Amino acid sequence: MKPKEDATNWIVKNQDRLTEISDKIWTYAEVGLQEYKSSSLLAETLEKESFKLQRVVAGMPTAFVASWGKGKPVIGVLGEFDALPSLSQKPIPTKEPVVSGAPGHGCGHNIHGTSGVAGAIGIAKAMEANDINGTVKFFGCPAEETLVGKVFMVRDGIFKDVDVVLSHHPGPMNSAVLTSYNAMNSVKFHFYGKAAHAGGSPDQGRGASDAVELMNVGVNYMREHIIQEARVHYVIEDGGHEPNVIPAYARSWYYVRAPERPQVESIYNWILRIADGADLMAGTAHTVEFLTGCYNTLPNRRLCELIVKNMREIGTPTYASEELAFAQEMGKSISPEEKRASLRRSKRPDWQKLLDVTLDTSVADPWGEGESSGGSTDVGDVSWQTPTVEFQTTSCVLGAPGHSWQRTAASGMSIGHKSLIFAANTIAWTGLDLITKPSVLKAIREEFEERIACTIYVSPLPPDLKPPLHQLPTSSTQKK
């Protein structure tokens, strides 16, 4: 236990500093690929603790890798730090933005990046104090919300020498699940027509917005005939400017998701043909801007079980009366029906027992083998390179939806802080187990090899595709 105690001692000694870093990133609330202040703060923190920095990774100014130590094994730790558009919220239990329409950390990535940094430093401090050989690498990963950062990093070989990867994500439970996340494509459709006076000479115009609408109608009819687990979402980013001008240009942005990569490709190819059909009907032309794609996540039972074991040995946080009151007040914003639906959707065994629980202080056994979540994450592509886990620690009330004001609020106050410190210890303890117990690491890697045996990973990105640094505007009021 000596190395683990050393790691925890450093984390506890520095917890005020760590929560201050998290709160600064929460305040910065920078959207994907624009996280300059957040990325720099985390990188500088690691550099002060003797980590060697590699900046501007895989063509992304806010991506970086920080390394400490030498030799094998190499333990990777992920950190995310991008916020979401239009989710600004004060750290209070009722809905009230800091700045209306501004970004906010509705997915808790201020905690994600900081817990990863704390865990990585904790591992390094324990290795140094106990003369343990090995390497710990922290990967500063931008733009998870738009599934960009890690996919480009994987394509460029950034994870090729890593033996195992640990990642933490704040959430409503303390868990390490075997549930996969969906594979996905992100793509924009640019339609081109012909401008004309909508009242005086409509026969001379060809409406690009007509093509966007016709394409959307076609996709909505397609939904009946794709697998139930698939998800297709879109927004119209540009549909014209005033009714009296037939739009010469219009643009839509689509996400296409399904449990496995080949299913995404099949649905995506169908959507491409629907776009062609919209041109035939509207008399327009279009171009396709492929932004990114990702794989489904590959679970690892042995790694999940190791995480759960360490979480139970560390012990979950206890909450002060003020924190419990905060949670109870926030819980009022979620109807019993919404909470029931959220818990049922998790498919956690005995989820009914949590219906009257506001803050979950238990640690669940791993569950969800063979199941798939509706969302996606670029952690999936990392999981096809090396054994990977993304565990959760309680940072919000049960039933709070992802990407919500409730999660922004809790991520900026002490409930989120306790989630961060608990996760940092879990990362540090698990990383030290993997470094000091070769048989444990060997078993985890053997399971990984078994799971990838029948599938060859091929990057969903074209070799010459550049990161979409322009995909989200800098305007604080712009919606995703």
CATH value of 2-181+297-452 in 2.40.30.40, 3.40.50.150, 3.40.50.20, 3.40.630.10: 3.40.630.10
pLDDT tens digits, residue range 106-138?
999 999 999 999 999 999 999 999 999 999 999
Q: Long-range contact list for 47-51, CB < 8 A, 24+ apart?
A: 49/121, 49/124, 49/125, 50/124, 51/120, 51/121, 51/124, 51/138
Give the span between the Cα atoms of 113 and 425, in whole angstroms.
Answer: 14
Give the helix/strand (H/E) hosting 114: helix 109-129
Q: Where are the domains of the chain?
A: 2-181+297-452, 183-294
pLDDT tens digits, residue range 338-365?
999 999 999 999 999 999 999 999 999 9
pTM, entire model: 0.94
Say whether 443 sits in a helix, a strand or coil.
helix
Give the span between the Cα atoms of 54 and 72, in whole angstroms.
Answer: 19
Please report the pLDDT score of residue 480 as a whole number: 32
Q: What percent of the chain has pLDDT over 70?
A: 98
pLDDT tens digits, residue range 424-452?
999 999 999 999 999 999 999 999 999 99
Cis ω on the peptide bond leading into residue 247 (within 30° of 0)?
no
Say whether 101 sits in a helix, a strand or coil.
coil
CATH of domain 183-294: 3.30.70.360
Give the span between the Cα atoms of 96 and 100, in whole angstroms.
Answer: 8
